[in-house]
A = this chain, B = another copy of it.
Amino acid sequence: MKISVQTSEKTYEVMIRSGLINQAGHYIEKMIPASSYLVIVDQHVASYYLEAFLQTFHTANIHVSVVPSGEQSKSFQQYEQLLNDCYAFGLDRSSVIIAFGGGVTGDLAGFVAGTYMRGIRFVQVPTTLLAHDSSVGGKVAINLAKGKNIVGLFHQPELVLYDPDLLRTLPNQEWRSGFAEIVKMGFIADKDFLLWLKAEVAQLPIQDEKKLEYMIGKAVALKADIVQQDEKEMGIRGILNFGHTLGHAIEGEMGYGALTHGEAVAIGMAFALKVSEQKKGRDFSSSVYLEWLASLGYRLTVPQVLKSENLLAQMMKDKKARHGTLNYVLLEAVGDASIEAIDATELKTFFD
């Protein structure tokens, strides 16, 4: 399956196909010729797939930097190290960086590409279910010690190669992490897709190859449609943050890694559903969706160890916050999201 994503500067393709990884080098060299390549690869992914991956390339001008797995790689130290690597390997303005790994690798490698020599091209080869989401849309970032994704850019990839076969080695927690973002697309933009997911996905991981390809392709296409309307997140793109304001706060308070991103977002979505229903005075039959998500292994309430004051303080530090007011993503109906200003005082009432 191929999806074209249009940006202000170019159009790039997202290719989704089982077995694609065995031709990765072929496609990259053909579609994105470069003076040299640097593969930035997650340590864990490298141990499984790197050797085979490199063998799909013909060029000898290919370098590798391995980064430790996990969110802590999105640090200034790792960022500086990779830029020093780029320079030591002699990468120039016609070089291309290949991000081979999950969302962390994509965010980090993309930020390196976006700032090395004021920006060189990069290709995403995502290896997790979650990374289907982060690899499209051009958001790249690293973390401050106290704030996730606070430092970054919009830097669009040249190509995204997504091979669902790579998901076979993922732990269940990672499946839940990625699947939450797919469910999110249904909630904010496509009720029929959400109902299809609910009918077809009774457990994770998903074994059926066709179902998996369709589901990822659909989520990418829905996201691409939103990103194309608002590349720099001045408006509509903000709805992609459904469940994320609380989700990020939970991740921050728990320490990154205690819950996966998508697991935290799932709690955030359950919370946002409640806020939406109460503020709008409507019934979305949320319980039907929440029970299904619970049956897939998601927890949907805020962990008791977390204090609501601390979560609120974190939420008010969100990038989307302005003048002490949060732009919160709510639902008008299932499949139809909108952004509304909520202040801290009101938000607090929903925690009680």
Contact check, B153 vs A141: say whether CB atoms are below 8 A apart. Answer: no
- Give complex CA distance A147, B83 in Å: 10
Given A150-B117, A151-B116, A153-B118, the answer on whether A144 and B87 have CB atoms closer than 8 Å is: yes
Contact check, B321 vs A92: say whether CB atoms are below 8 A apart. Answer: yes
Contact check, B35 vs A323: say whether CB atoms are below 8 A apart. Answer: yes
**CB-defined contacts of A321 to chain B, threshold 8 Å:** 92
**CB-defined contacts of A154 to chain B, threshold 8 Å:** 118-119
State the number of copies, please.
2
Contact check, A151 vs B322: say whether CB atoms are below 8 A apart. Answer: no
Contact check, B322 vs A115: say whether CB atoms are below 8 A apart. Answer: no
Determine which of B115, B147, B152, B322 lies in contact with A87 in the assembled complex, contact meaning CB atoms within 8 Å.
B147
Contact check, B83 vs A322: say whether CB atoms are below 8 A apart. Answer: no
- Give complex CA distance A217, B168 in Å: 63
The answer to the question of A58 belonging to the interface, with a C-beta cut-off of 8 Å to chain B, is no
**What 0/1 pattern do residues 78 to 95 of A give for CB contact below 8 A with B?**
011001100100101110
How distant is A252 from chain B, measured CB to nearest CB, in Å?
Answer: 12
Q: Which residue, A94, A145, A151, A153, has most C-beta atoms of chain B within 10 A?
A: A151
The answer to the question of A279 belonging to the interface, with a C-beta cut-off of 8 Å to chain B, is no
**CB-defined contacts of A146 to chain B, threshold 8 Å:** 84, 87
Task: Please tell me the size bucket of the interface on A.
Answer: 35 or more
Given A83-B150, A116-B151, A150-B117, the answer on whether A317 and B90 have CB atoms closer than 8 Å is: yes
Determine which of B84, B115, B144 lies in contact with A153 in the assembled complex, contact meaning CB atoms within 8 Å.
B115
**CB-defined contacts of A83 to chain B, threshold 8 Å:** 144, 150-151
**What 0/1 pattern do residues 84 to 126 of A give for CB contact below 8 A with B?**
1001001011100000000000000000001111110000000
- Give complex CA distance A92, B322 in Å: 6
How distant is A331 from chain B, measured CB to nearest CB, in Å?
Answer: 24
**CB-defined contacts of A118 to chain B, threshold 8 Å:** 139, 141, 152-154, 232-233, 319
Given A76-B76, A87-B146, the answer on whether A319 and B153 have CB atoms closer than 8 Å is: no
- Give complex CA distance A153, B140 in Å: 14
Contact check, A87 vs B153: say whether CB atoms are below 8 A apart. Answer: no
Given A84-B145, A144-B84, A144-B87, the answer on whether A93 and B322 have CB atoms closer than 8 Å is: yes
- Give complex CA distance A35, B322 in Å: 8
Interface residues of A in 126-141 (CB under 8 A from B): 139, 141
Q: Which residue of chain B has its CB nearest to the CB of A79?
A: B76
Q: Could you list 18 A-B pairs, sorted by A, with CB under 8 Å?
A: A76-B79, A76-B80, A80-B144, A83-B150, A84-B145, A84-B146, A87-B150, A93-B319, A93-B320, A94-B322, A114-B153, A115-B151, A118-B139, A118-B152, A118-B153, A118-B154, A119-B154, A153-B153
